[in-house]
């Protein structure tokens, strides 16, 4: 059985390492950090440290473990509606992590891709799945599904829509099983990367498509 618990600041490094190991070959993330396989996982760890800290500040970070075990098998990072910027100290800390992740040469290009994703997000308030990843040791154990089901059940009680980008058709099919619908692709990434924008209406929401 898989259990899901909320993360705390002490879990930032471990959660980032799990995400980096899970997504080191993800084409969408490779567009951010570049085709540098020797240090890609290290760079992704720095990047996901930003994601996790941001989720803890303004959203939710869920950790999945096998019942009775301490090792983290999966992580999901969510941004709540009305996301706000952190303090100046937090922003500087995040900038340092971005620089370690992308390198100074690629920092501006990576930030442009980040802005492209942000601009494509719907205008109405929603929860945003920033990233989800499952450690290889958790494959085939329902870890990703449990992470999604747990957080979505909480979001549904508030009747709030949710949004995410799927990096592949295969992952889009998984999200579709949880009620997400494709609303188009996100242009601006180097071929063949073409993130799929996906939307899930809130409970009782009659609008099938969001305002963009």
Using the Cα atoms of residue 60, residue 126, residue 180 and residue 182 in order, give the sign of their dihedral.
negative
Residue 76 lies in a domain: yes
C-alpha 210 chain-centroid distance:
20
User: Domain for residue 210, yes or no?
Assistant: no
- What is the pLDDT at residue 30? 76
Asked if residue 31 is part of any domain, the answer here is yes
On whether residue 206 sits in a domain, the answer given is: no
- Among 58, 65, 44, residue whose Cα is nearest residue 2: 65
Nearest by Cα to 40 from 129, 101, 114: 101
88 is a domain residue: yes
- From first to last of the 212 residues of the chain, give the pLDDT tens digit: 999 999 999 999 999 999 999 998 888 887 777 666 567 788 889 889 989 999 999 999 999 999 999 999 999 999 999 765 544 455 556 667 777 777 666 777 777 888 899 889 998 999 999 999 999 999 999 999 999 999 999 999 999 999 999 999 999 999 999 999 999 999 988 888 899 999 999 865 645 567 55
Yes or no: say if 60 and 130 are a contact pair by the CB < 8 Å rule: no
pTM of the model: 0.88
Number of other CB atoms surrounding residue 210 within 10 Å: 19
Q: How many domains does the chain have?
A: 1
Q: Is residue 78 part of a domain?
A: yes
Question: Given the DSSP bridges, would you call strands 127-134 and 181-185 parallel, antiparallel or unpaired?
Answer: unpaired
pLDDT of residue 31: 78
Classify residue 98: in a domain, yes or no. yes
3 state SS of 53? helix
Q: Is residue 212 part of a domain?
A: no
Range of 162's domain? 2-200
CA 109 → CA 16, 32, 47, 65, 104, distances in Å? 22, 8, 14, 35, 10
CATH number, domain with residue 138: 3.40.630.30
Instruction: Answer for the pair 42, 102: CB distance below 8 angstroms, yes or no.
Output: no
- CA-CA distances (angstroms) from residue 106 to 32, 85, 99? 8, 23, 9
Phi, psi for 197 (deg, rounded to 5): -75, 130
Pairing type for strands 162-166 and 127-134 reads parallel
Helices (H), the chain: 12-22, 27-33, 40-57, 88-102, 104-120, 143-158, 169-176
């Amino acid at each position: 059985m898989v259990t899901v618990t909320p993360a705390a600041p002490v879990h930032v490094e471990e959660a980032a390492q799990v995400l980096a190991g899970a997504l080191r070959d993800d084409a969408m993330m490779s567009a951010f950090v570049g085709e540098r396989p020797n240090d890609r996982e290290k760079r992704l760890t720095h990047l996901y440290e930003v994601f996790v800290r941001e989720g803890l500040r303004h959203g939710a970070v869920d950790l999945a473990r096998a019942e009775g075990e301490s090792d983290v098998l999966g992580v999901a990072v969510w941004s709540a509606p009305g996301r706000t910027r952190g303090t100046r100290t937090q922003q500087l800390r995040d900038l340092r992590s971005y620089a370690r992740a992308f390198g100074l040469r690629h920092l501006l290009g990576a930030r442009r891709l980040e802005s492209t994703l942000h601009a494509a997000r719907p205008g109405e308030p929603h929860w945003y799945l920033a990233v989800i990843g499952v450690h290889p040791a958790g494959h085939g154990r329902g870890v990703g599904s449990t992470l999604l089901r747990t957080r979505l059940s909480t979001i549904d009680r508030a009747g709030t829509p949710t949004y995410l980008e799927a990096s592949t058709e295969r992952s889009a099919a998984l999200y579709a099983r949880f009620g997400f619908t494709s609303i188009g692709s996100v242009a601006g990434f180097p071929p063949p990367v073409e993130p799929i924008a996906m939307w899930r209406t809130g409970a009782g929401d009659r609008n099938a498509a969001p305002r963009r």
